[in-house]
Amino acid sequence: MSSGLVQLRVRQDAGKPAAGGAPAPGDAVVSAPRAAAAPGQPAAYVETYGCQMNVADTEMVLGLLDGAGWARTDDPARADLILINTCAVREKAEERVFGRASELQRHKRPGVVLGITGCMAEHLESKVQERAPYVDVVVGPDGYRRLLDHVERARGGARVLDTELDRDETYEGLDPSRQMTGGVTGHVTIQRGCDKFCTFCVVPYTRGRERGTPPREILRQVRAMVAQGYREVVLLGQTVNSYRYEDVDFAALLRAVAEVEGLSRIRFTSPYPIDFTPAVIRAMAETPKICRHVHLPLQSGADSVLERMRRGYSYAEFVTLVQDLRAAMPDIALSTDLLIGFVGETEAEHQATLRAQEELRFDSAFTFAYSEREGTYAARKLPDDIPEDVKQRRLAEVIAVQQRITTEIMQTQLGRRERVLIEGPAKRGDQWMARTAGFKTVIIPRDGLNPGDFCEVDIERATSATLFGRVLPIRPDLSVA
Ligand code: SF4
């Protein structure tokens, strides 16, 4: 996940990436209040699970609430509306959401509305009704535009279910409230849904078919962010590089976004390997504002597993893509996702994944043990036949390899001079947390600098997850103050 989460409050940490510094899909994020509610002003408590797209959706919901005069609270006991924006991608997150809904229902007083939104609402609408009958509003990802109406009806005593997917909903015209991401890095969702139907994945069923946001809307949002002082935009999509709107493809969109004056950095996530065209690689290589970091989900190093997953590429094709990216941008950082213990995974197939890690040497990886998701092709046709202890043993092996590689790569950063963007406070009060273009976390002394400033640093120390730098004297061309 991205730097966009830096200043969000993470409630709990349910699963860390094997290496890298971002919250994982089981984390919950509470939207912090901007100001105390005025007397008589209704207040909303919003808790978010899952990926950056979910965080971006929450920002959109917060924008709707702001527009309708709602305040926010981080105390559910004081809320008039309690929303849990959910994730259905992993079972662990799903179970935690049911647990949280059950805990939060004790804050329901007369007139207080409890709602579940997002992927899980879409995926498990009947289970939500069955297991959490006290939930008043259940709204899928394409129903946010109607959310406030639903809340009003629920305040009047109705129970509302809106999980219809809408092929045409791109949320054009809805302005997210980006204050929850700290004012330096902001998300813009450029694409919704997914047409790939990987056999293990529930997303095409929960978020519907792929559709691109019109470029005019994307550019409007990016310009608005820059006007608010943001330095960096993260373009989001389930398969972000498959983006198309009429005759504008992802490469053209990247170049258009880079033209926005005042914007300093562009990131995007997550691209789909086979849709990574030479035009996108050229756009990245030729456009300094586009950060040299790509999160490229491999999932498995074995062709037979990739076929069962219906990923649409072979390992050799993936290797060629990595070689093309590194040839065009030798300093590019690559991270990945690895899904361990998928249906039928043999020891030889597992070894192929370990070999792939050694060969490709990703900077970091999110690693997960496979668990069946209701409604997917795999759940219907491919029985989950790998014993849990085998999955966990293989996962531990994959994590150990990745941790070693990540540590080695981090050590190579020692002595390097990097240009970093300060994103916000580090854990220690006298330090800032900054990022390199390659998405590595660098801790630096405050030295009179502020979030949103760029500075040059010499890397003096490295752990497996974090770099520590010494700030060099500010050069006017680097300080975009
Ligand atoms: S590309 Fe595959 S894994 Fe990614 S969201 Fe689409 S179906 Fe899921």
Ligand 1 geometric centre to CA of 227 (Å): 34
Residue 22 has pLDDT above 50, yes or no: no
Q: Which percentage of the chain shows pLDDT scores above 70?
A: 91
pLDDT band at 34 (very low <50, low <70, confident <90, very high): low
Residue 18 has pLDDT above 70, yes or no: no
Name the DSSP class of 109.
-
Long-range CB contact pairs, 21-25, < 8 A, 24+: 21/441, 21/465, 21/466, 24/366, 25/49, 25/50, 25/51, 25/87, 25/89, 25/90, 25/93
Ligand 1 geometric centre to CA of 161 (Å): 26
Does domain 3-162 fall into CATH 3.40.50.2300? no
Ligand 1 geometric centre to CA of 339 (Å): 12
Q: Which atom of ligand 1 is nearest to the CA of 194?
A: 6
pLDDT digits (tens, 9 = 90+) for 1-13: 232 222 233 332 2
Mean pLDDT of the chain: 89
Confirm if 322 and 271 have CB atoms less than 8 A apart.
no
Residues with CB under 6 A from ligand 1: 194, 196-198, 201, 203-204, 238-239, 272
For 242, half-sphere exposure in the C-beta direction (CA atoms, 13 angstrom radius) is: 16
Return the best residue to mutate from 192, 202, 239, 368 for the ligand 1 pocket (most ligand atoms within 8 A of CB): 239
Residue 478 has pLDDT above 70, yes or no: no
Residue 23 has pLDDT above 80, yes or no: no
Read off the pLDDT of each residue in 64-73 and give the average, rounded to a whole number: 93
pLDDT digits (tens, 9 = 90+) for 420-429: 999 999 999 8
Residue 166 has pLDDT above 70, yes or no: yes
Q: Which atom of ligand 1 is nearest to the CA of 238?
A: 5
Count CB neighbours of 227 within 10 A. Answer: 9
Return the best residue to mutate from 197, 238, 242, 243 for the ligand 1 pocket (most ligand atoms within 8 A of CB): 238
Q: Which atom of ligand 1 is nearest to the CA of 239?
A: 1
Ligand 1 geometric centre to CA of 196 (Å): 6
| pLDDT at site 86 | 86
Residue 210 has pLDDT above 80, yes or no: yes
Q: Which atom of ligand 1 is nearest to the CA of 299?
A: 3
Ligand 1 geometric centre to CA of 311 (Å): 8
Residue 104 has pLDDT above 90, yes or no: yes
Q: Among 23-37, 447-461, 464-478, name the one with the lowest average pLDDT.
A: 23-37
Q: Is 126 or 418 the better-scoring residue by pLDDT?
A: 418
pLDDT digits (tens, 9 = 90+) for 244-260: 999 999 999 999 999 99
Q: Is 49 or 289 the better-scoring residue by pLDDT?
A: 289
Phi then psi for residue 79, to 5 deg, are -90, 145
Residue 465's closest CA among 20, 2, 18, 4? 20
Ligand 1 geometric centre to CA of 362 (Å): 20
pLDDT digits (tens, 9 = 90+) for 328-364: 999 999 999 999 999 999 999 999 999 999 999 999 9
Q: Residue with the nearest Cα to atom 8 of ligand 1?
A: 201
Residue 480 has pLDDT above 50, yes or no: no
Domain ranges of the chain: 3-162, 417-471
| pLDDT at site 384 | 96
pLDDT band at 477 (very low <50, low <70, confident <90, very high): low
Fold of the CATH domain 417-471: OB fold (Dihydrolipoamide Acetyltransferase, E2P) (2.40.50)
Residue 72's closest CA among 27, 39, 41? 41
CA 419 from centroid of its chain's CA atoms: 24
Provide the residue type at 100 as one letter. R
Ligand 1 geometric centre to CA of 204 (Å): 7
Provide the residue type at 289 as one letter. K
Q: Residue with the nearest Cα to atom 2 of ligand 1?
A: 198
| pLDDT at site 204 | 93
Residue 25 has pLDDT above 60, yes or no: no
